[in-house]
Amino acid sequence: MGKKQLTQSSREEVLKEADKVEAALKKEPKIKQSARVAEGRVYIASSYNNTIITLTNNRGQVLASKSAGAVGFKGTKKSTSFAASRVAENIANICKKLGMEKTEVFIKGIGAGRESAIRTMVNQGINVVSIKDVTPIPHNGVKPKKVRRV
């Protein structure tokens, strides 16, 4: 196997590496518009596997987007209501940075994080003007099979 060589790094090099690691951890979320936005929309897509929350302005241009996977949850933990509340906290912080006063909430899907995401946004101090459910509902079903001819 051979001998292991130990290299001694100076204190300055260790501090530089520590600064790089801290900078990577404290990376700010990218917000596409730095200008102040008074009103906006929050779209919550909650499925059985994940919760995705998107923040847009009134024209529908995406300002920020977060999901349970992006916040740090993996596997089946992404589908929990706790994960949805953490995602909502992150979006609420971004709303505060943008100076957003009023938000409209649009919910889509049937996951566990629907209600907890809204409750968290309200508890964080975001003024929710309206809540609308835009879950797609089938309203005629599939075309039936043709009659079998013998």
Give the tens place of pLDDT for each residue, 104-134: 999 999 989 899 999 999 999 999 999 999 9
User: What is the CATH classification number for the domain harbouring 85?
Assistant: 3.30.420.80
What confidence tens digit (pLDDT) does each residue in 34-91 have?
567 889 999 999 999 999 999 999 999 999 999 999 999 999 999 999 999 999 999 9
Does residue 111 belong to any structural domain of this protein?
Answer: yes
In angstroms, rounded to a whole number, what is the distance separating the alpha carbons of residues 109 and 92? 21
How many domains does the chain fold into? 1
- Contacts of 32-38 with CB under 8 Å at 24 or more apart are 32/61, 32/62, 32/63, 32/64, 33/57, 33/61, 33/63, 33/98, 36/98, 36/99, 37/63, 37/98, 37/99, 37/100, 38/99, 38/100, 38/101, 38/102
Mean pLDDT over 132-137 rounds to 94
How many other CB atoms are found less than 10 A from the CB of residue 61? Answer: 11
Instruction: With respect to residue 124, please indicate whether it lies within any of the assigned structural domains.
Output: yes
25 vs 128: which has the higher pLDDT: 128
pTM for the model stands at 0.72
Residue 105 is assigned to a structural domain of this protein: yes
- Radius of gyration in angstroms for the set of CA atoms belonging to the chain, rounded to a whole number: 23
Is position 73 within any domain?
Answer: yes
Residue 123 lies in a domain: yes
For residue 5, what pLDDT is reported?
Answer: 62
